[in-house]
Amino acid sequence: MLTIVNGVTSKQVLANEIINLLETMGLDGYFYLGYPVLGGIDGKIKVDALLVSEQTGIVLFDLETLAEENMEDKIQLLDELYNNMEAKLKRYGYLSKRRVLQVPINVLSYAPLYKTKSDEICTSIEEVKEYLESLEWKQGEGYYKKLLEAIQMISQLKKRGGRKNLQKASSRGSKLKAIEDQISCLDKYQSKAVIETVEGVQRIRGLAGSGKTIVLALKVAYLYTMYENKMIAVTFNSRALKGQFIQLITNFIVENTNEEPDWSRIKIIHAWGSKNS
């Protein structure tokens, strides 16, 4: 089953065409709209849409609403999307084998107003379908969950190296390790809570330990990268959470953009105080 996660976009019409197509193809995975933001040497690149599937690997979508422009500029943009995503994924050693990245990265521009097309530039939704049907990821079964962990930016939450000498699969240590190995993947509800934003109040509810703090920190990082002219305030009731929020938000922003956060745009303040605090 394909989970659609709607982020911030100004290209909803073209996005809906891609979504309608994907829902007929029987793919399993996630389709992110307006996510992620890739940090590179020349600054941040906002990805129009991203497909992460066990059948196809990664497909980065450039959704072009304008008529044909300089083709060299378009090809350069597609190259930058590929190179920045490759650099991001190569930071995770578990996605490579003998220096070779085991995740296929595909880049596609959907430009219905273009007259010129190429292997990576499709001018009709039928061409997009043909392109996607030609993709095959033979290693998907072994690397798909690890890929999701990297895309969702929370790999540092996993306690790596803590439980290595486990001999019995039924032992408590083995069971705890199995739980820890799943911590770094968001489920579809958490993914939607992080990226999907509504006008007005949005409530995220959950039991203790269900990941609300992580979701909120990820949401701050996402809004920070998408709205560069906005100031974000994070409030909470427990003073002890302040240090954790600073650490999590810093890690998520650095992992997403390769830049330290500008703390003049983020205010982390607990919801009560005194003359001295």
Instruction: Please name the helix (run of DSSP H) or strand (run of DSSP E) that holds residue 38, with its range, or none.
Output: strand 37-40
Count of beta carbons in the 10 Å neighbourhood of residue 37:
19
Euclidean distance between CA atoms 11 and 33, whole angstroms = 9
Predicted model pTM: 0.82
pLDDT at residue 232, as a whole number: 95
State CA 155 to chain mean position distance: 12
Distance (Å, rounded) from C-alpha 211 to C-alpha 198? 20
Nearest-angstrom CA–CA distance, 30 and 53: 6
Give mean pLDDT in consecutive 10-residue pieces for the chain, a chain of 277 residues.
Answer: 91 96 94 88 86 95 87 91 93 89 95 88 95 88 86 64 66 72 72 86 84 91 90 88 91 86 92 74
**Rounded-to-integer distance, Cα 101 and Cα 91, Å:** 10
The rounded distance, in Å, linking the Cα atoms of 41 and 44 is: 8
Q: What pLDDT is attached to residue 160?
A: 46
Backbone angles phi, psi at 146, to 5 degrees: -65, -35
